[in-house]
Each structure stands twice: as structure tokens, then as C-alpha cells.
Amino acid sequence: MRVAMIGTGFISRFNGAALLKQPDVELIALCNRTVEKAEKLAAELQIRCPVYQDYHEMLGKEKPDVVVINLAHHLHLECFLACAKAGADIIIEKALGNTYAECLQMMEAAEKYGIKSTVLHTQRYNAVYETAVQFIQEHDLGPLLSINDNIHLHYFWDGRSPWQLSNEQSGGGIALNYGVHQLDRVHFFLKQKTKHIHGNYLIKKAGYEVFSSYAMMGIGDRGTPYVITCTGYTGPAVNETRLVFERGILQCNLVENGIQPFGLYYGSNETKDFEKVPITLSNDQMYVREFQAAVDYLSGKMKVPPVPLEWAAEMVRLVESGRH
């Protein structure tokens, strides 16, 4: 499988390293508006391949089987359409588009040109979440009653890409950038389509135009409620998902913060206390597992995309729907 990568910013180093660990995959070209950044990535990944400034030129000369799109949100649509028209299958970073309308155009293009595509919603491959899925499958926990998903992480750190701090380029900053992550992981466990959602998005960070925090409340089409909160300020980090079942609670902790240790914890109605669930997967291999699933789908080993365009588009739609 001959793969090219468009966009060599921060996330590309993780995606590129994971891609190179896939059997029968060759990274044949890199493309970035600033060529020096692409050359730096090639050196970091220890690969020798052509470097392009214009992805139209790259598509025409290299004719890759697959393209990985790592660009800023507002550049996704144009690039996706060009790659689809060139006949290349596509692996694209979340959020799929800057708006739901853009997502619909990408879905139409994929169908028109007959290409395969999947979206990189990385957090569902976190070792904690994958272990939680296995635990749910192996234990009779009863119906899922509710989900709480909370993030408190510093969003405005020095070095944050300027496009992520622009409403026009990022679709609202933290609201879309983190919002689709949280909505994806909630729906990953919910296994229901949201029928009602309400949100409140706040701009309170002095000197910035993008949202600095948000809260969303939704209800699945089988009646299960969820609550999502996010704040982008400094302070103790919180990154957690709490799954409340009829017979107990699964607590997913993605960061250490002095109170919550990293890991998965289960408390049953009988024991009343949380106990640690062993995690055998390496969290360092999260991106590798993600790209393995993407490559397996594009190569025909899997019939269903790990994250369909329709799913990723729905996450963007919910962000828009909850914005009041």
C-alpha cells in the first residue's frame, strides 16, 4: 500500500510513526505548505521520500493508493475533494470538517468517486477504553443508565497552532477540537443515536476569540442520558469517563492528577468500592492500533470502516446542534 501524507504538523509525527509500523505500507511522499517542516518530519521518521509543497502536484506525480490528511480543520474539505477526485483512499484526522455542511460534501465525494475513507478518532483506542469495552463484553452489568464525560486540560498552551485559536479556521477552537473527541467516546459506549442535545459554550479567555469551555447534555434514542463538560484552563488535569450501569460503575481515568490514578476501575453494587481492572494493552501503541484498523479496512481485511464518514459527520453535527 503506497501512502502519502498531507500536513506535517504536530499530530503527523504520531500518525507517521504509527503508519510506518504497519506491514506492507510504504510512506512514499510528504506534503506541507512549509517544505522545511516536511523535511524535518522525514528526518524524525528516518525515511527518504519526495517532499512537496503542493498536494495537487504530489497527487499527480506520485498517484498514492492512500492519503493521510493531517491539515487544519478549514483545509479538510478542499483537500479531501482533490484526493477523492484523484482516486486515492483517504484517512483523515478528526474533526472531519469545519462544519456539518462540509462533512456532507465529503461524503458525497467519496460516493461519487468510489473511494474508501475513515476518520481518525484516536481516543477510542486508548488502552483504558479498549479494556472497558472488553470488560463490558465479559460481565453482565445490566443496562447502561448514564454517561458522564469530563475534561479539564490546558488548551491555550504556548505552541498551540494558531489555526486552533481561530474561530474561522478551527470551527470554534476547543468546542470542535475537543468536543468531537468527547462525543465520539460517549457514543462509542452509548451505542445510541442522540435524539436531543443542548449545550452552552463560553468565551472567557482574555485575548482569544475561540470558546474556552462548554457543557453538553444529550439523550440517546433509547433514553440513556449523558453529560459532557470541558474547560480549557490550567490547573489539575481531569480526563475521565464514568459509565453507570444497573449493577455497577466503570470509571475510566485517562490522566493522573493526585486524586484519580490512571486506569480503569469497577465498583459493583455488592462491593460498594472501586477496584482496579488490569490493563494488558500498552497505551503507547494507541496510534498503532488505530492505523492498523484503518489499513485493515482500506486493504479489504475489514468490510466496515473503523470510523465511517457518517459517524464523524454526526459528531460535528452534534457540536453545531449543541451550540446555543
Percent of the chain with pLDDT over 90: 97
The tens digit of pLDDT for each residue in 34-88 reads 999 999 999 999 999 999 999 999 999 999 999 999 999 999 999 999 999 999 9
Mean pLDDT of the chain: 96
Per-residue pLDDT of the chain (324 residues; tens, 9 = 90+): 999 999 999 999 999 999 999 999 999 999 999 999 999 999 999 999 999 999 999 999 999 999 999 999 999 999 999 999 999 999 999 999 999 999 999 999 999 999 999 999 999 999 999 999 999 999 999 999 999 999 999 999 998 999 999 999 999 899 999 999 999 999 999 999 999 999 999 988 999 999 999 999 999 999 999 999 999 999 999 999 999 999 999 999 999 999 999 999 999 999 989 999 999 999 999 999 999 999 999 999 999 999 999 999 999 999 999 875
The owner of cell 475521565 is: 240
Query: Alpha carbon of 228 to those of 23, 179, 197, 245, 271: distances in Å?
Result: 38, 9, 11, 17, 28
Under 8 Å between Cβ of 84 and 109: yes
Start and end residues for every CATH 3.30.360.10 domain found in the chain: 123-283+317-321
Closest residue by Cα to residue 16 from 98, 117, 101, 91: 91
Which pLDDT score is estimated for 324? 59
As a whole number of angstroms, the longest Cα–Cα distance in the chain is 64
Specify the length of the chain in residues.
324
Closest residue by Cα to residue 164 from 103, 233, 210: 210
Give the homologous superfamily in CATH for domain 123-283+317-321.
Dihydrodipicolinate Reductase; domain 2 (3.30.360.10)
- CATH annotation of 2-122+287-308: 3.40.50.720
Under 8 Å between Cβ of 118 and 91: yes
Distance CA 3, CA 90 (A): 9
Start and end residues for every CATH 3.40.50.720 domain found in the chain: 2-122+287-308
Distance CA 279, CA 128 (A): 7
Task: Output the 3-class SS for the chain.
Answer: CEEEEECCCCCHHHHHHHHHCCCCCEEEEEECCCHHHHHHHHHHHCCCCCEECCHHHHHHHHCCCEEEECCCHHHHHHHHHHHHHCCCEEEEECCCCCCHHHHHHHHHHHHHHCCCEEEECHHHHCHHHHHHHHHHHHCCCCCEEEEEEEEECCCCCCCCCHHHHCHHHHCCEHHHHCHHHHHHHHHHHHCCCEEEEEEEEECCCCCCCCECEEEEEEEECCCCEEEEEEECCCCCCEEEEEEEECCEEEEEECCCCCCCCCEEEEEECCCCCEEEECCCCCHHHHHHHHHHHHHHHHCCCCCCCCCCHHHHHHHHHHHHHCCC
Cis peptide before 215 (omega within 30 of 0): no
